[in-house]
Chain A
Amino acid sequence: MLGKSLYVGETVELTAIDTEKDAATFSKWTERSSFFRRFTDGMFRIIPEHEMKKKLAEKLKNAEEKRNAYYFAIRKKEDAALIGFACIGWTIPAHQVGGIQIDFGEESDLVNFGDEVMRLMLRYGFMEAGLHRLMTTFPTYETEQIALFERSGFLREVQHREAAYHEGRYWDKVEYALLKPEYKKQYHEEAK
């Protein structure tokens, strides 16, 4: 159990969010509706930096009080550049279930670092946060995200027909989940 960091990967690491310093980058990411919709509720719009500072602070405070969510800033090890956001959230402790989100500012970072971050986040969710089931949902146009979760072992469980609206038309929304026994089988080296 000990001797292997939960946070440090080969090229990236999970770090704490710095509300003041990171807000500008998070604000930039809300230009994409997909990030916005996973990050917060309400009508899609760009969240300005001053508001993002408040939102981040509020999220972190809520998580601390309720102990139901864990937020991370993904940074490159070489220069500490903030490249993404990851979280285990919306947990229901009574059922040992929770949501997982991994988002990158650039799609190329998703391709390059997605698997590494996934490995860290799954270990955190199953082996540290004590969850049995991790789940996530995407509109079907988010093909890179879906590919990452599918190759990580997540199964498509639900297809909400026409539940998303984007680029002038409806899209299905799909729900994915991975259960702890499946995780332990696929990531048996990690899960020791």
Chain B
Amino acid sequence: MNESLFQGKLVRLCAVDKEKDAELWAKWNMDSDYVRLLDIGPSYLYPKKQIEDWIEEIKDNQSEFSIRSIADDKTIGDIGLDDFDWTAGNAWVGIGIGDADFRGKGYGTEAMRLLLQYAFEELNLHRVNLSVFEFNKRAIRSYEKCGFKYEGIMREFIYKDDKRWDLWNMGILHSEWQELYALETAQTAQV
């Protein structure tokens, strides 16, 4: 049995810190490329107070975590589940690595795997969805690595830079996650 559900090798998932995280998120929002990859709405510099209010509004119909790097105990991003459908066992995941030094190095991928473990092994979800902008290639690679499969393309959903872009949809089933997990565990055992 896992000692800690939220503990990985590179990162751990922990509670959101209203004041400290709001300050970080406000800082990350200054990186407009980051927000353009993350948010469906227009990028915007929300005042810290507004972000704090948003954090405070997170209730038990949502599940939001800070992602902390284990080596230097630094908050590097956030991840969460939202839009739960408990009848079908379905929810949507969103993730952002706000600290640019930690992008493209497997931190986000591991955070996603921890989250999927929580979603499937503890919440007993049947599937997890996500949508990603077609121009976010780094995220797409990470989602593929986590086992997400392509479920379709919403054509011309996004309007930015006077162009229309597609919104990709991906999903992973509980059974698919279990197969992947069993395979990885077996491979680790062989090594």
Contact = CB atoms under 8 A, between A and B. Distances in A.
A161 B129 CA distance: 10
A95 B88 contact: no
Interface hub of A135, A156, A157, A175 (most chain B Cβ within 10 A): A157
Interface stretch (B9-17, B134-142, B155-163): B155-163
Given A158-B151, A175-B152, A163 B90 contact: yes
A133 interface: yes
Contacts, number: 69
Given A43-B86, A162-B126, A163-B127, A92 B41 contact: yes
Contact of B173 (A97, A135, A158, A161): A161
Contacts of A186: none
Nearest to B174: A162
Interface in B153-191: 153-159, 164, 169, 171, 173
A160 B149 CA distance: 10
Given A95-B158, A95-B159, A133-B157, A159 B87 contact: no
A97 B41 CA distance: 12
Interface of A: 43-44, 92, 94-97, 132-133, 135, 155-165, 170, 175, 177, 179
Interface of B: 40-42, 85-90, 126-127, 129, 151-159, 164, 169, 171, 173
